[in-house]
Amino acid sequence: MSARFRSWMLFSVIALFLGAFLLWPLAHVFRKALFDSNGFTVFYFKALVTDPLQIRAIGTSLFIAVMVTIGCVIVALPPAWLVARRTFPGKNMISALMLVPLILPPFVGAVGMKILFARSGSLSTLLMHMGIVSGPIDWLGQFPLVGIVVMEVMHLFPILYLNLVAALANIDPSLEEAAGNLGASPWRVFKRISLPLAGPGLFGGIVLVFIWSFTELGTPLVFGYRRVLPVMIYDSVSEVGTNPMGYAQVTLVLIISALGFWVSKYISGNRGNVATLGRLSVSTKEKALSLPGMLATYTLFGIVLFVATLPHISVILVSCGKRWFLTVLPEEFTLAFFGRALSMELTQTALFNSLFLSICAATLDVFMGFSIAWLCVRSRIRGGDLLDTLAMLPLAVPGIVIAFGYLGCFSGHFPNTYLDPRFNPMLLLIASYSIRRLPYIVRAIHAGLQQVSSAYEDAAANLGATPLRIIRRITLPLVAANLLAGAILCFAFSMLEVADSIILAQTERFYPITKAIYALMDILENGVNVAAALGVWAMALLGAAMLWASCLLGKKMGQMFHAS
């Protein structure tokens, strides 16, 4: 009886939190966009879709999202297949390196890339030295969209890569062998068997990439390209109380994201679990590569990794380069910016803020994630599934929407309290960070719990352990790896969170790292170098965290970055 009561208490607390910090702000956004003092209205939507400026921004954003998604598939597929199906020396290390792009928010990478590809940057200089072009070219000024797409592909393809490796590893190899045995060439086997079977995994990743790139705020902001929907939303933040257009834009973003999410869920659901029918018999047979195959493989990984780490390299160069103008590489190197990145008051507060916020968010997520997964998988109370669905909702809700919703909702209702981001955004930042990462951690723990036979818990109850003691002595230790990995990832991504941070933190003493980097770039003397140095510090921290997490989770890491 009391166990049941406790389950319901837990359920209520979490439902209340999600209701207050997820559903209410979303409802507020909808209400403001669709209702005015005269009741229901589509006036603002009409204004949105009849204004050519807005239409162009929406179109551009969709175009970027589609191109980024296609780009990610192209970049992620061959490496994923090689890692899932072939064996070659150094595979584990290379596979881990593929996650490196995730540790740098694309807009920080953009800081470095801007210099690399500027009119007076490395590429122009290199091409002039080689005599290929006669004068400097402003690559980003001429092809801003290409720059944005490339930046985001380089950052997001690991998500698809992780999904694909996991999906391919789940396919019973005998299904592919049977196709080969009946006369299909390797390419035909891939096209007719592997790809359809990996479909659900692929779509789960695709929709994440799509939503992510559709709502990416930092990269276009740094490249100075303001004609995209996220930036226009950002620009309307200042008039959130007076102009409902921002709400209409946010609602549109939300609808498109939810649509993508629903489509991917529908497709995944339709394909069913065909791919994993034979999971029990999976004994992944990874074939060895021939010498030419091996060379081709290393070349492929080399190119992918080089291009993917170009932003990192450029950021590092910027962080330690002095006097870098019309030369391929900086003329002088210095470590001074690293010191300055840690000694300025702005950066120190930002580092402290980010660490504090991310640790709080990760702790909150571990608590909520474990509770939700446990309520669904183990206690099986009615409504557990509802909570699970609610926890997955943030996958379809971009950070920019949540941040905008908080600003509009809480500033208005609780002015000058800890719920007012203009007064003190810390509480709301923790809420938004944790809610945005909740789906990943719920999924990680959910998977862990399902792999742990309930007989372990039954045996403990049978030998006299109370329900709470069972959780402490049996359940928690058995899912500890999933729990820890989920927490690390949650921490890492909270450190990287851009949209929420930029929109919610409006005074300097509350800036998280990402907003501090953004602010530093406007400081005239060497601001960019210090921003880059701060980025390198963050990168080192996150790299270590990701490496640790991927060691704990192994191939299971792919299951977390999946939208259905």
Partner 1 sequence: MHSNNSSMIEVRNIAKRFGSVTALDNIRFSVSRGELFFLLGPSGCGKTTMLRILAGLETQDKGSILYNGKDVAELPPHKRGAPMVFQNYALWPHMSVYENVAFGLVESKTPKKEIVARVNQALEQVNLFGMGNRMPNQLSGGQQQRVVLARALVMNPHTVLLDEPLSNLDAKLRSEMREEIEALHKNTDITFIYVTHDQIEALSLADRMAMMDNGKICAIGTPSALYHRPPSLFCATFLGEANALQGTVLNVVGNMVITDTAIGKIKAVYQGNTPTIGTSVNCIIRPENIRIDGAGDNSAQAIILSSRMTGATTTLLLDVNGTILRAVMLNEYGSNPAAGTMVTAVFKATDTIVVTS
Q: List contacts with partner 1 (CB under 8 A).
A: 3, 453, 455-456, 458-467, 469, 473-474, 477-478
Q: Please count the residues of the chain.
A: 564
Choice between 416 and 451, CB closer to partner 1:
451
Residue 540 burial (10 A CB sphere; 0-12, 13-18, 19+): exposed
b/e burial code for range 161-194 (CB count within 10 A of at least 16 → b)? bbbbbbbbbbbbbebbeebeeeebeeeebbeebb
226 neighbors 365 (Cβ within 8 angstroms): no
Choice between 2 and 134, CB closer to partner 1:
2
Choice between 49 and 461, CB closer to partner 1:
461
Smallest separation (angstroms) from partner 1 to the CB of 201: 28
Cα 519 to Cα 151, 261, 310, 511, 532: the distances in Å are 20, 33, 23, 9, 12
Alpha-carbon distance 432 to 394, whole Å?
Answer: 10
Smallest separation (angstroms) from partner 1 to the CB of 4: 11
Smallest separation (angstroms) from partner 1 to the CB of 2: 9
* DSSP codes joined into one string, 411-431: HHHSTTSTT-TTT--HHHHHH
| Among 490, 518, 168, residue whose Cα is nearest residue 358 | 490
State whether residue 436 is helix, strand or coil.
Answer: helix
Smallest separation (angstroms) from partner 1 to the CB of 165: 26
Smallest separation (angstroms) from partner 1 to the CB of 448: 13
154 neighbors 305 (Cβ within 8 angstroms): no
Alpha-carbon distance 196 to 185, whole Å?
Answer: 16
Smallest separation (angstroms) from partner 1 to the CB of 465: 5
Cα 98 to Cα 68, 143, 165, 491, 557: the distances in Å are 17, 27, 12, 20, 12
Choice between 238 and 453, CB closer to partner 1:
453
| Among 81, 286, 365, 476, residue whose Cα is nearest residue 467 | 476
Cα 112 to Cα 99, 285, 324, 456: the distances in Å are 19, 42, 12, 52
Choice between 90 and 477, CB closer to partner 1:
477
Smallest separation (angstroms) from partner 1 to the CB of 452: 9
Choice between 263 and 484, CB closer to partner 1:
484
* Chain-centre distance for alpha carbon 412: 29
| Among 368, 360, 363, residue whose Cα is nearest residue 14 | 368
Smallest separation (angstroms) from partner 1 to the CB of 458: 5
Smallest separation (angstroms) from partner 1 to the CB of 456: 5
* Chain-centre distance for alpha carbon 370: 21
Residues contacting residue 370 through CB under 8 Å, at least 6 positions apart: 445, 476, 479, 483
Choice between 28 and 556, CB closer to partner 1:
556
Choice between 476 and 544, CB closer to partner 1:
476
Decide the pairing of beta strands 39-40 and 35-36. Answer: antiparallel
Choice between 178 and 459, CB closer to partner 1:
459
Choice between 53 and 382, CB closer to partner 1:
382
Q: State both tokens at 152.
A: 């985001």
Smallest separation (angstroms) from partner 1 to the CB of 11: 20
Q: Is 87 left (phi over 0), alpha (psi -120 to 50) or beta?
A: beta
Choice between 155 and 378, CB closer to partner 1:
378
Smallest separation (angstroms) from partner 1 to the CB of 473: 8
